[in-house]
């Protein structure tokens, strides 16, 4: 079931992945050039080493001719070549790695920025966990690819070319003979890549299932224990664990069959070629032993890069899949609604108007039908209704979380989508039912990114919503660090902080999305006082569960299944004895049916 | 090397696999010594002009045979050794999960889920590596190293071997040193990456807040910083990582140089053939890996040990709440009696509950109200025995809850927690969580009771709709109601509602409470709530204040009390009085 919903929510970019990956290198031309130069120098030194040996063996050792001068020169050049190789190899690998890391940083920032500008329609459909994985783990997989491609594959490839060059320099015929090995090597690589792709994918899927199961079980452990489902969960986890093991074993089997052992066979084949060549040659006359030595030496080194490339082929699989996902995310078109037009209207008065707004999240069912209302500057409009009646959708649209396609929303007479983001966000303050707090101090959470806000202003905002009482009781007061999601605070305290955060921005329009749902009655009293203060001079759109909290609203809209079925003041709605009256009765009246039976 | 002693139980368990694995590994190592020898012999034969086509053919056939056998042994040892390490990982993961299911809520309050996940993934991987690659490097560095050295000494010359090997230990020492440096830096790089992950996690979870406050650019800024930190830490790693190969190259070059310089001398004085020297240098090349493996081994072992220690520490965490010896398996039943003198959370000084004395008769409903942090939730969680009380007791049917097994206790209780946890499964599976075998009819029945049936039918796949991370997102109220249905399905004698109606609206709340009333005759219900309407009809209401029972009684009695309850209740009622046109509503 997972993979299916995955497919629905995830967009892949299958096109030109490699091309796009390479395009990230454009900004690093100089660095790459320097790295390549170093790589060439180092490889040249590597290739020259056996040739020096060959000269030594054939010109001096075999004829037993040992003049001091040339020998010292040979010795020095031999050691010197290795030193050069070591130095430049270090330089190139470091440089390639640095480039790879910077490329990935750029990619990460790109993806993260992109995600910031995606609309809530995207977030609704994308599980948070997998999104996080996109930004961090997938880019990490791509990083591995870059690092290995740049520092291992490129250098291995250059090394292989270098070795062949050396071989051709020493003996053209034998070098051609050695070329026979290439098809074998390529076939092996191709075969392995093909086979491992499938096996590898299964392993990944199992691993992610394993982790998901573990994560979820840990999160819900209290529930699992309270419901006595430990045994069942153990069994379920055990099953996934077994499947994962089986997949891993398959992987090991494939690697054992097609990696080092297989490469070694090709190596032996090459060795046989060389030995036969010289052997056969020796039947007809003298052979240069030095050349044989150099060839055997080259062959030895030749397979190191191949082993390295083969072992990292799986990285390529993972990285390609990851890159497809990352680019898919970068290409996602579900961006947040943005400002349209070139006008820069400002929100001065705070008049909010909905004109015939109809809205649907999925394009099928309309959750809002023909909604029209206006909140005059300074007025409070309350939205009430049954769960799922569309209250939150109205707020989501007003906050421009979703684009309005049918009908229009106007602030101060201008269409909502003509406002710049900055203007909209600073003038429209939202308080959510679930107060989300960031890691950081209490003050950080009130101040957010507005670094120019003084401590005094922070304190004032806290006082304004009466959060100062509990903050001042904290050991470090405003500098108290908030743990993971403010777990150390009660829900009421968290909500108070989120109030302070909103008020610190001094918005023109206040949007309360069931803001008092999680605040205890006692605190709510204080908050009602604060809200009164907050609302004065501000247009307020409020959703409330408890009708008592909104009865002084200038206008109450009663929603039912996406429609406004009643509107008026508290008093007039009660008099109308409609849905609102019923709701109110249920909450406050004595005529709750069955109440007497409870006694 | 302690890790190998620590893992001895596993090696014993899989002894045949390891024995055969090591045997075949040694065979492979031995076989790989053949080709250099053959090269040397052929070189000498060529030099001496004694090579015949037949001889060459024989050697080639020999090499082919070696290739075939090597391929086989290589396959077998990899399968046995790496396969075993995978089994070890599986077992550890299973044990860890098993242990996780036994640990108390207090443990989960102290630990971050992310860290626990890391133990179950990274640490197990490190141990797996120690049991796989660790064994490989240990065996290979010892046997292969010894074999190569012995072959070189016996076949060629022990003096030359000694001379050529002089630089090798330097390599081992250096790679070990790099390894430990690398480990430290790698740890920092991991930490930076994990910070980055946390940052993204937070951002994604708080997307609405981020958007509402226009914090996108600020978030990008901090993310850029965090990702920059990742780059810096990784470059530090690369600086060390890149040292390995050049160091090896240099040292091997020195060995080669020594071998050839001194070997050439011997060729001149006739004690060594050129073929012998060629074999010798090839063998020297074969020594690189064992030496390297030796240095690498230390890192594998070090990491494996550290990880295994962490895993063992986790496995050693004693569940705080355990069944007493001879605890009763009988499902408790009867009146609930709280007699708590004081209670503090483990490791905390703050007294959360004090002088709680209260009885709920079987079949009655207890309402618990009071401001946030007054101890309502604690009172309920203690009944579930999520924590043990040291000073006082809770009894059900006259029997302290400590005397029964947790399993029995919890089978008597249905629990609807404050934060509604649903699992990534279908709605039906979520409701049937406590009784996976429940029929669809039963599931639908409790869904109706919890007033969620109609909502469920409106989902794309009805009861088969997947919820959670990978499925549809339910509203807070819907989650609460699913969680209520889930608790109802087990039809427990005691039902706990921990502020479980906070996100449903008034009408739904009434409907649910009514249904409960009808459904749960002779069954006990404990409801904590912020909204007094949820407890108004309870048989007994207690008002908590700073961990004490400040008021108690029925709604009627409490109203007469003129305390917190009456005040809050009146406050809620006040407006209704006024707004009903001033018509008085009698209490």
- CA-closest candidate to residue A204, choices A193, A214, A215, A212: A212
For residue A531, is pLDDT > 80? Answer: no
Report chain A's mean pLDDT, rounded to a whole number.
Answer: 81
For chain B positions 498-537, those within 8 Å of chain A (CB to CB) are 502-508, 510, 514, 517, 530-533, 536-537
Chain B hits for A282, CB-CB cut-off 8 Å, are 45-46, 49, 51
The answer to whether the CB atoms of B94 and A546 lie below 8 A apart is no
Q: What is residue A593's predicted lDDT score, i.e. its pLDDT?
A: 35
Chain A hits for B105, CB-CB cut-off 8 Å, are 221-222, 225
Same domain, A15 and A131: yes
Same domain, A270 and A123: yes
Please indicate, yes or no, if residue A586 is contained in any of the structural domains: yes
Residue A49 to residue A83: CA distance in whole angstroms: 11
* pLDDT digits 0-9 by tens, B365-399: 999 998 877 888 889 989 988 888 888 999 999 89
- CA triple A574-A580-A584, angle to 5 deg: 80
pLDDT range class, residue A599, cuts 50, 70, 90: very low
For residue A9, is pLDDT > 80? Answer: no
Same domain, A552 and A416: yes
Chain A hits for B476, CB-CB cut-off 8 Å, are 433-434
State whether residue A37 sits within 8 Å of chain B by CB: no
Q: Which residue of B has its CA nearest to A523?
A: B371
> Helix (H, G, I), strand (E, B), or coil: what is residue B482?
helix
Interface test with A, best of B69, B97, B387 (most A CBs within 10 A): B97
* Run of H or E including B344: strand B336-344
Residue B318 DSSP class: P
CB A164 within 8 A of CB A178: yes
**Final residue of a structural domain among A275, A295, A330:** A330
The interaxial angle of helices B440-449 and B476-489, nearest 10 deg, is 120
* pLDDT digits 0-9 by tens, A107-121: 999 989 888 888 887
Phi-psi region of A228 (alpha: psi -120 to 50; beta: other; left: phi over 0): left
For chain B positions 241-280, those within 8 Å of chain A (CB to CB) are 241-243, 245-247, 249-250, 253-254, 256-257, 260-261, 264, 267-268, 274, 278
Q: Which residue of B has its CA nearest to A512?
A: B212
- End-to-end CA separation in angstroms for chain A: 48
More confident site: B561 or B92: B92
pLDDT (mean) for A307-315: 79
Interface test with A, best of B221, B404, B505, B511 (most A CBs within 10 A): B505
Written as one string, the DSSP assignment of B214-227 is T-HHHHHHHHHHHH
Measured between alpha carbons, how far is residue B113 from residues A216, A261, A488, B118, B240 in Å? 10, 41, 16, 9, 32
- CA-closest candidate to residue A304, choices A337, A260, A273: A260
Residue A78 to residue A50: CA distance in whole angstroms: 9
* pLDDT digits 0-9 by tens, B533-576: 888 889 999 999 988 999 999 999 999 988 888 888 876 665 34
Residue B300 to residue B296: CA distance in whole angstroms: 6
Chain B hits for A388, CB-CB cut-off 8 Å, are 455, 475
Residue B474 DSSP class: P
CB B406 within 8 A of CB B413: no
For residue B78, is pLDDT > 90? Answer: yes
For residue A128, is pLDDT > 80? Answer: no
Neighbours of B252 (CB within 10 A): 20
Please indicate, yes or no, if residue A20 is contained in any of the structural domains: yes
For chain B positions 113-132, those within 8 Å of chain A (CB to CB) are 113, 116-117, 120-121
Least confident of A194-208, A584-598, B482-496: A584-598
CB A104 within 8 A of CB A146: yes
Residue B42 to residue B58: CA distance in whole angstroms: 11
What percentage of residues in chain A have a pLDDT greater than 90? 13
Residue A241 to residue A234: CA distance in whole angstroms: 10
Same domain, A11 and A91: yes
CA distance B151 to chain A (A): 19
> Helix (H, G, I), strand (E, B), or coil: what is residue B535?
coil
Please indicate, yes or no, if residue A46 is contained in any of the structural domains: yes
For residue A2, is pLDDT > 60? Answer: no
CB A399 within 8 A of CB B211: yes
pLDDT (mean) for A364-389: 82
CB A97 within 8 A of CB A147: yes
The answer to whether the CB atoms of A105 and B220 lie below 8 A apart is no
Q: What is the CATH number of the domain that holds A359?
A: 3.40.50.300
Q: What is residue B575's predicted lDDT score, i.e. its pLDDT?
A: 39
Q: Residue A204 belongs to what domain range?
A: 4-330
Same domain, A531 and A581: yes
Chain B hits for A131, CB-CB cut-off 8 Å, are 200, 204
**How many CB pairs below 8 A link A and B?**
430
Same domain, A489 and A416: yes
* pLDDT digits 0-9 by tens, A253-292: 999 998 888 999 999 999 999 999 988 888 888 788 888 8
pLDDT (mean) for A376-394: 81
Q: Which residue of A has its CA nearest to B57?
A: A276
CB B370 within 8 A of CB B548: no
Interface test with B, best of A2, A222, A362, A470 (most B CBs within 10 A): A222
Residue A324 to residue A315: CA distance in whole angstroms: 14
State whether residue B23 sits within 8 Å of chain A by CB: no
> Helix (H, G, I), strand (E, B), or coil: what is residue A474?
coil
Same domain, A385 and A320: no
**Final residue of a structural domain among A271, A300, A330:** A330
State whether residue B71 sits within 8 Å of chain A by CB: yes
Please indicate, yes or no, if residue A370 is contained in any of the structural domains: yes
Same domain, A501 and A387: yes
- CA triple B530-B532-B534, angle to 5 deg: 90
Same domain, A322 and A378: no
Chain B hits for A94, CB-CB cut-off 8 Å, are 235, 238-239, 242
Same domain, A398 and A533: yes
* pLDDT digits 0-9 by tens, A24-40: 888 889 999 999 999 89
For chain A positions 82-121, those within 8 Å of chain B (CB to CB) are 82-83, 85-87, 89-90, 93-94, 97-98, 101-102, 104-105, 108-109, 112-113, 115-117, 120
pLDDT range class, residue A11, cuts 50, 70, 90: low
For residue A594, is pLDDT > 60? Answer: no
For residue A592, is pLDDT > 60? Answer: no
The answer to whether the CB atoms of B537 and A595 lie below 8 A apart is yes
The answer to whether the CB atoms of B254 and A425 lie below 8 A apart is no
* pLDDT digits 0-9 by tens, B182-235: 888 888 888 888 888 888 888 888 888 888 888 888 889 989 999 999 999 989
Closest partner residue to A586 (CB to CB) among B245, B503, B507 is B507
State whether residue B439 sits within 8 Å of chain A by CB: no
The answer to whether the CB atoms of B53 and A283 lie below 8 A apart is yes
pLDDT range class, residue A596, cuts 50, 70, 90: very low
For chain A positions 167-196, those within 8 Å of chain B (CB to CB) are none
Pairing of strands A440-441, A481-482: antiparallel
State whether residue B15 sits within 8 Å of chain A by CB: no
pLDDT (mean) for B499-508: 79
Please indicate, yes or no, if residue A553 is contained in any of the structural domains: yes
Same domain, A386 and A528: yes
Q: What is residue A270's predicted lDDT score, i.e. its pLDDT?
A: 93
Please indicate, yes or no, if residue A342 is contained in any of the structural domains: no
- Say how many domains are in chain A: 2
Residue A311 to residue A308: CA distance in whole angstroms: 5
Q: What is the 3-state secondary structure (H, E, C) of B432-459?
A: CCCCCCCCHHHHHHHHHHCCCHHHHHCC
Please indicate, yes or no, if residue A497 is contained in any of the structural domains: yes
* Run of H or E including B175: helix B168-205
Q: Dihedral angle at the C-alpha atoms of B243, B246, B251, B256, nearest 10 degrees? A: 170
State whether residue B347 sits within 8 Å of chain A by CB: no
State whether residue B218 sits within 8 Å of chain A by CB: yes
Measured between alpha carbons, how far is residue B535 from residues A218, A431, B266, B309 in Å? 32, 28, 101, 50
**Final residue of a structural domain among A330, A365, A398:** A330
Chain A hits for B545, CB-CB cut-off 8 Å, are none
Measured between alpha carbons, how far is residue A487 from residues A93, A483, A484, B468, B501 in Å? 45, 6, 6, 21, 21
Closest partner residue to B576 (CB to CB) among A210, A272, A588 is A588
CB B196 within 8 A of CB B230: yes
Q: Which residue of A has its CA nearest to B556?
A: A599
- CA-closest candidate to residue B46, choices B273, B332, B207, B319: B273
Q: Which residue of B has its CA nearest to A273?
A: B60
State whether residue A128 sits within 8 Å of chain B by CB: yes
Residue A262 to residue A450: CA distance in whole angstroms: 61
* pLDDT digits 0-9 by tens, B447-471: 999 999 998 988 878 898 888 655 6
Please indicate, yes or no, if residue A381 is contained in any of the structural domains: yes
Q: What is the 3-state secondary structure (H, E, C) of A405-459?
A: CEEEEEECCEEHHHCCHHHHHHHEEEECCCCCCCCEEHHHHHHCCCCCCCHHHHH
Q: How many residues can be counted in chain A?
A: 599
Closest partner residue to A1 (CB to CB) among B75, B466, B510 is B466
The answer to whether the CB atoms of A221 and B32 lie below 8 A apart is no
Residue B224 to residue B217: CA distance in whole angstroms: 10
Q: What is the CATH number of the domain that holds A31?
A: 1.20.1560.10
Same domain, A361 and A325: no
Closest partner residue to B411 (CB to CB) among A6, A228, A430 is A228
- With 0-12 / 13-18 / 19 or more C-beta atoms within 10 angstroms meaning exposed / middle / buried, residue B194 is middle
């Amino acid at each position: 079931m997972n993979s299916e919903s995955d497919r629905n929510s995830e967009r892949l970019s299958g096109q030109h992945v490699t091309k796009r990956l390479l395009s990230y290198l454009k900004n690093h031309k100089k660095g790459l050039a320097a790295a390549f130069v170093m790589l060439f120098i180092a490889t040249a030194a590597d290739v020259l080493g056996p040739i020096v040996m060959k000269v030594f063996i054939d010109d001096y050792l075999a004829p037993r001719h040992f003049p001091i001068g040339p020998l010292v020169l040979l010795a020095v050049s031999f050691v010197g070549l290795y030193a050069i190789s070591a130095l430049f190899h270090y330089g190139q690998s470091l440089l390639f790695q640095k480039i790879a890391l910077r490329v990935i940083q750029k990619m990460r920032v790109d993806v993260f920025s992109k995600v910031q500008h995606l609309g809530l329609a995207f977030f609704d459909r994308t599980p948070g966990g997998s999104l996080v994985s996109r930004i961090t783990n997938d880019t990490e997989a791509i990083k591995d690819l870059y690092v290995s491609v740049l520092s291992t594959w490129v250098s291995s490839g250059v090394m292989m070319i270098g070795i062949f060059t050396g071989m051709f320099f020493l003996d053209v015929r034998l070098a051609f003979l050695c070329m026979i090995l290439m098809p074998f090597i390529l076939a092996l690589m191709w075969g392995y890549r093909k086979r491992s792709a499938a096996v590898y994918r299964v392993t990944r899927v199992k691993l992610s299932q394993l982790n998901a199961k573990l994560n979820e079980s840990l999160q819900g452990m209290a529930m699992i224990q309270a419901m006595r489902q430990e045994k069942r969960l153990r069994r379920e986890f055990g099953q996934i664990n077994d499947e994962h093991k089986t997949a891993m074993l398959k992987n090991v089997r494939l690697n054992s069959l097609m990696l080092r052992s297989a490469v070694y066979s090709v190596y032996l084949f090459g060795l046989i070629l060389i030995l036969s060549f010289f052997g056969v040659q020796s039947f007809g006359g003298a052979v240069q032993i030095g050349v044989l030595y150099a060839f055997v030496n080259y062959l030895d080194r030749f397979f190191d890069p191949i082993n390295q490339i083969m072992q990292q082929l799986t990285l390529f699989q993972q990285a390609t899949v990851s890159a497809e996902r990352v680019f898919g995310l970068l290409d996602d078109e579900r961006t947040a609604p943005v400002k349209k037009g070139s006008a820069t209207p400002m929100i001065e008065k705070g008049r909010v108007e909905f004109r015939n707004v109809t809205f649907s999240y999925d394009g099928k069912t309309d959750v809002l039908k023909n909604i029209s209302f206006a909140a005059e500057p300074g007025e409070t409009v309350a939205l009430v209704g049954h769960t799922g009646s569309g209250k939150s959708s109205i707020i989501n649209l007003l906050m421009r979380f979703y684009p309005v396609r049918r009908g229009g929303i106007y602030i101060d007479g201008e269409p909502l989508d003509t406002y710049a983001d900055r203007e909209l966000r600073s003038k429209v303050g939202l308080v959510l039912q679930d107060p989300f707090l960031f890691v950081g101090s209490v003050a950080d959470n009130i101040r957010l990114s507005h670094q120019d806000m003084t401590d005094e202003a922070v304190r004032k905002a806290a006082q304004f919503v009466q959060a100062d009482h509990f903050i001042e009781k904290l050991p470090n007061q405003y500098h108290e660090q908030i743990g993971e999601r403010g777990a150390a605070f009660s829900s009421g305290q968290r909500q108070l902080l989120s109030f302070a955060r909103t008020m610190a921005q001094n918005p023109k329009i206040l949007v309360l999305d069931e803001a008092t749902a999680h605040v205890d009655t006692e605190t709510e009293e204080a908050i009602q006082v604060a809200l009164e203060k907050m609302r004065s001079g501000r247009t307020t759109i409020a959703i409330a569960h408890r009708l008592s909290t909104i009865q002084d609203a200038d206008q109450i809209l009663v929603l039912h299944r996406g429609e406004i079925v009643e509107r008026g003041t508290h008093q007039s709605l009660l008099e109308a004895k409609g849905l609102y009256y019923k709701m109110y009765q249920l909450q406050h009246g004595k005529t709750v049916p069955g109440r007497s039976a409870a006694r | 090397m302690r890790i190998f002693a620590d893992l001895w139980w596993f090696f014993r368990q899989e002894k045949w696999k390891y024995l055969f694995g090591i045997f075949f590994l040694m065979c492979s190592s031995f076989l790989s010594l053949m080709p250099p020898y053959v090269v040397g012999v052929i070189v000498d034969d060529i030099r001496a002009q004694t090579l015949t086509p037949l001889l060459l053919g024989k050697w080639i056939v020999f090499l082919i045979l070696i290739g075939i056998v090597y391929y086989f042994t290589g396959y077998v040892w990899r399968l046995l050794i790496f396969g075993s390490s995978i089994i070890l990982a599986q077992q550890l993961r299973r044990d860890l999960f098993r242990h996780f299911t036994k640990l108390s809520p207090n443990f989960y309050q102290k630990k971050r889920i992310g860290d626990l996940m890391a133990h179950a993934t990274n640490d197990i991987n490190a141990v797996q590596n120690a049991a796989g690659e660790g064994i490989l490097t240990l065996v290979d560095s010892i046997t292969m190293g010894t074999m190569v050295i012995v072959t070189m000494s016996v076949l060629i010359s022990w003096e030359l071997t000694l001379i050529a090997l002089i630089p090798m230990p330097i390599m081992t020492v250096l790679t070990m040193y790099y390894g430990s440096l690398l480990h430290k830096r790698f740890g920092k790089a991991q930490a930076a990456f994990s910070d980055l992950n946390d940052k993204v996690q937070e951002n994604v979870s708080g997307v609405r807040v981020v958007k509402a406050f226009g914090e996108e650019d600020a978030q990008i800024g901090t993310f850029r910083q965090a990702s920059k930190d990742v780059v810096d830490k990784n470059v530090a790693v690369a600086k060390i990582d890149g040292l390995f190969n050049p160091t090896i190259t240099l040292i091997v070059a020195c060995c080669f140089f020594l071998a050839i310089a001194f070997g050439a001398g011997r060729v001149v004085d006739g004690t060594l053939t050129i073929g012998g020297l060629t074999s010798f240098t090839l063998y020297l090349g074969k020594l690189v890996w064992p030496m390297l493996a030796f240095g690498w081994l230390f890192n594998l072992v070090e990491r494996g040990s550290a990880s295994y220690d962490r895993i063992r520490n986790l496995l050693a965490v004693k569940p705080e709440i355990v069944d007493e010896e001879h605890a009763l398996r009988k499902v408790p039943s009867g009146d609930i009696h709280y007699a708590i003198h004081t209670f503090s959370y483990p490791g905390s000084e703050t007294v959360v509950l004090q002088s709680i004395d209260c009885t709920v008769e079987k079949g009655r409903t207890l309402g618990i109200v009071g401001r946030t942090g007054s101890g309502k939730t604690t009172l309920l969680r203690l009944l579930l025995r999520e924590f043990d009380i040291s000073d006082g007791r809770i009894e059900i049917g006259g029997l302290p809850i400590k005397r029964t097994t947790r399993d029995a206790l919890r089978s008597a209780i249905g629990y609807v927690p404050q934060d509604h946890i649903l699992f990534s499964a279908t709605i039906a599976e979520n409701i049937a969580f406590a009784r996976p075998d429940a029929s669809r009819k039963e599931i639908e029945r409790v869904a109706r009771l919890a007033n969620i049936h109609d909502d469920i039918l409106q989902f794309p796949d009805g009861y088969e709709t997947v919820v959670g991370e990978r499925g549809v997102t339910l509203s807070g109220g819907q989650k609460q109601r699913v969680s209520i249905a889930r608790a109802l399905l087990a039809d427990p004698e005691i039902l706990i509602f921990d502020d479980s109606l906070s996100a449903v609206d008034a009408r739904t709340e009434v409907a649910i409470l009514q249904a409960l009333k009808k459904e749960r005759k002779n069954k006990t219900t404990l409801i904590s709530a912020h909204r007094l309407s949820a407890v108004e009809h309870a048989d007994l209401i207690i008002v908590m204040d700073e961990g004490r029972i400040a008021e108690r009684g029925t709604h009627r009695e409490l109203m007469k009390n003129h305390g917190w309850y009456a005040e809050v209740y009146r406050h809620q009622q006040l407006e209704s009085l006024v707004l009903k046109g001033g018509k008085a509503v009698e209490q």
